[in-house]
Amino acid sequence: MWQVGSIIEVYTEKNKIKPHNLYWQIYGKAEGIKTSYITRDFLSYCLRIKKYFNKSEDITKKFPRLQAYSLFREAFPLLENPKFKLSPDEETRIVNDLNSSATPQKIKKMIVEIKADRIGVKNTRNQKLNEMKPITDAFLAVYNEVYFLIKDNNKLETDALTNSIKKDYLLKLSQAVSALTQENLFVPVLGSRNDLPESWAIFVSDLKKLLNGTVEFRNRFRRLVPPRKLFDLADMLNAFTTEQGLANYRKRKMASLS
């Protein structure tokens, strides 16, 4: 990760481009134009790690017994961000915890306790939004998949998806996604399926959580995945229920871009 961060640092300085813009170019836009599996979050952490450690050798010197990257990531905001103003003793405690022989679970608990002391629970709004990330990722994964299938116009691939998910289930999924755009809309009954591809199984599970959750829960989700995008996803899912539906959807999109 340090080496990737070094490449990003050199490239952005040489080409006068902001790191955030580069991450978008590498990964792609959320609207389906996905060009890589290298996420923006990963790229961001690579550059932050490069800026924190002057040399790659400093990582093993400072954390010779680090058991897992996830533990370092848990503590990294405290170490990196000057707004927390750690004292030398506090920073030493964190480093010692990360290098300890305790179980990963215990180390994480110690780090979380330190974060609670330093950060407190002052921004629960953002914290709750961050907790929605796995759900939004699941929705965007399905969004990207159906977007590309429609865009590429490959009948074998679109037929494969239709045969896998089934047209009647795709229609119910379209109705369920539409129901998320605002409150008090018709909510279909989504039956249990154990034959779905993994990404779709996660998507359906999260969709049910949202539909059965509180209004507050759905509002948090809509802050991250706005109704317009939900309408688009519902429209695309519905298009898969008939061959003419796919053709009509492509025509509408072409017209909107002309």
Reported as a single tens digit per residue, the pLDDT across 187-210 is: 888 888 889 888 899 999 999 999
Q: What is the pLDDT of residue 185?
A: 82
In this predicted structure, the answer to whether residue 256 has a pLDDT above a threshold of 70 is no
Higher pLDDT, 130 or 145: 145
Query: What are the tens digits of pLDDT across the range 159-181?
Result: 898 999 999 999 999 999 999 98
Q: Is 187 helix (H, G, I), strand (E, B) or coil?
A: coil
In this predicted structure, the answer to whether residue 153 has a pLDDT above a threshold of 90 is no
pTM of the model: 0.51
